[in-house]
Structure 1
Amino acid sequence: MEYLLILLALVVALAVWVVSQYNSLQAAMQAIREASSNLQASMRKRVDLANQVIDIASGYGEHEKLTHVTLSNNIEGAMERVSALAQNYPQLRANETYQTLMEQLERLEQTIFERREFYNEQVKGYNVKRNSFPTVLIANKLNFDTVPYFDSEDPEALNNIKLFARDDSEALRLALNKGSDAVVRSVATAKTKLASKLEDKRDTSSTPSNPE
């Protein structure tokens, strides 16, 4: 009986540990989701502001080929062409809307830098936790993959950023069910062994001793 209690206590402790590790990984992943969402929102806003600047600049340099940018375009290069155009057109530099948009873009660049750094910090913390032993065993079972850092020099960086929408409840349920099944089997085996020992003990006690 003592053996069964110890086994049950170990299993309960293991289940509690698995759930706590799952919650910890899920919390870290949620922090990455939020950081990713904020970073992408700032980058989309930068594209919008850049295109507004391009619209204004296009009215001054008719011979210049200025096209709208997207998230995957080289926005820095487009803004450099606009700045070069502004050097040749004082009216463009004096345009209040142009000045306001350029100031907003400058502040937004700092915001993007800060949010990119924060995102990468969250990724680092998650990856360290996820790859540490023995958490990595649970992470692999529940499909918590490593998360890539955001590298502004990588043209595929935006494609690598995901919102990480996932539902691990089913995987967690299956993992706990497997643990429960193992417990049931262990308890059944222990009960069988205990019953066998008790039966042997009864047989021994009921056997008359040989007289000397």
Structure 2
Amino acid sequence: MWWIAVVVGIIVLIVLWVVSTYNKLVSSREFVRNSMGNIAAQIESRWDAVKSLIDATKKYSAHEAETLTNITAMRGKVDRSSDAEQVVKDDNLFADAMRQIDVVVENYPNLKADGVYIQAMQGIDKYENNVRQSRMVYNDTVTKLNRQVQQFPTSIVAGMFGFRQETYFESSSAKADMPQW
């Protein structure tokens, strides 16, 4: 009879371990999603600053403002359920918009002295730094989740419940090519 108690005890310990491991994986996945949500919020603010720049360029060139408006209309919505690839696509559109703005500034040097332009560029710089920091936090949370998903015996529970590795943000060639002000 005592062996039944031992078997039941072992089963209870295994179930408790599975539940505990599952909860840790859920927490890690939520940290990743929260980090992506922070990136999405910063990206949205960055695009709002670009819209201010578009308003500033309208005074100088309606054609360029229309081109910029078309670029901003093409962008997808980045939110907490997005992945790194979607954010990179959004970053590429952002880089295109910034190159267009650079063209306008070259053609209309007085734009650099415009108060709206100056304020918007300061905002973009601030949000760009915030996006960069949020990406570092995201990559850190992805590292923690990916370790858990790969390490034995947690990988068994991860496989049973469909947890998968997330992708990291990598340096983008678009970032290196962005104009500097």
TM-score, normalised with respect to structure 2: 0.77
The residue that corresponds to 2:41 in the other structure is 41
With over 3 angstroms needed to count, the CA separation of the structure-2 counterparts of 1:85 and 1:141, relative to structure 1, is same
Query: Displacement of 1:42 after TM fit?
Result: 0.8
Paired residue secondary structure (1:74): helix
Distance in 2 between residues matched to 1:21 and 1:154, nearest whole Å? 38
The residue that corresponds to 2:68 in the other structure is 67
Query: Displacement of 1:62 after TM fit?
Result: 4.1
| Matched residue type, 1:4 | I
Distance in 1 between residues matched to 2:13 and 2:62, nearest whole Å? 73
Paired residue secondary structure (1:148): coil
Instruction: Give a deviation string over 1:128-149, Cα, whole Å, max 9, x none.
Output: 1111111111111111122122
Paired residue secondary structure (1:66): helix
Paired residue secondary structure (2:61): coil
Paired residue secondary structure (2:167): coil
| Matched residue type, 1:118 | V
Say if 2:132 is the partner of 1:113: yes
Find runs of 4+ consecutive structure 1 residues off by over 6 angstroms: none
Distance in 1 between residues matched to 2:104 and 2:137, nearest whole Å? 34
Say if 2:27 is the partner of 1:27: yes
| Matched residue type, 2:108 | Y
Q: Which runs of 5+ in 1 are unaligned?
A: 156-212
| Matched residue type, 1:48 | D
Paired residue secondary structure (2:146): helix
- Write 1 or 2 for the structure with the bigger share of helix: 2
| Number of aligned positions between the proteins | 155
The residue that corresponds to 1:6 in the other structure is 6
Distance in 1 between residues matched to 2:61 and 2:171, nearest whole Å? 30
The structure having more radius of gyration, on CA atoms, is 1
Instruction: Give a deviation string over 1:157-182, Cα, whole Å, max 9, x none.
Output: xxxxxxxxxxxxxxxxxxxxxxxxxx
Which of 137, 141, 150 is matched with 1:131 structurally? 150
Question: What RMSD in Å do the two structures reach over aligned CA positions?
Answer: 2.1
Distance in 2 between residues matched to 1:97 and 1:145, nearest whole Å? 45
Paired residue secondary structure (1:144): coil
The residue that corresponds to 1:98 in the other structure is 117
With over 3 angstroms needed to count, the CA separation of the structure-2 counterparts of 1:129 and 1:3, relative to structure 1, is same
Distance in 2 between residues matched to 1:110 and 1:4, nearest whole Å? 61
Distance in 2 between residues matched to 1:152 and 1:40, nearest whole Å? 18
Query: Displacement of 1:63 after TM fit?
Result: 5.3
Query: Displacement of 1:152 after TM fit?
Result: 6.0
TM-score, normalised with respect to structure 1: 0.66
Q: Which runs of 5+ in 2 are unaligned?
A: 77-89, 175-181
Tell me if structure 2 keeps the 8 A contact 1:120–1:150.
Answer: yes
Query: Displacement of 1:4 after TM fit?
Result: 0.9
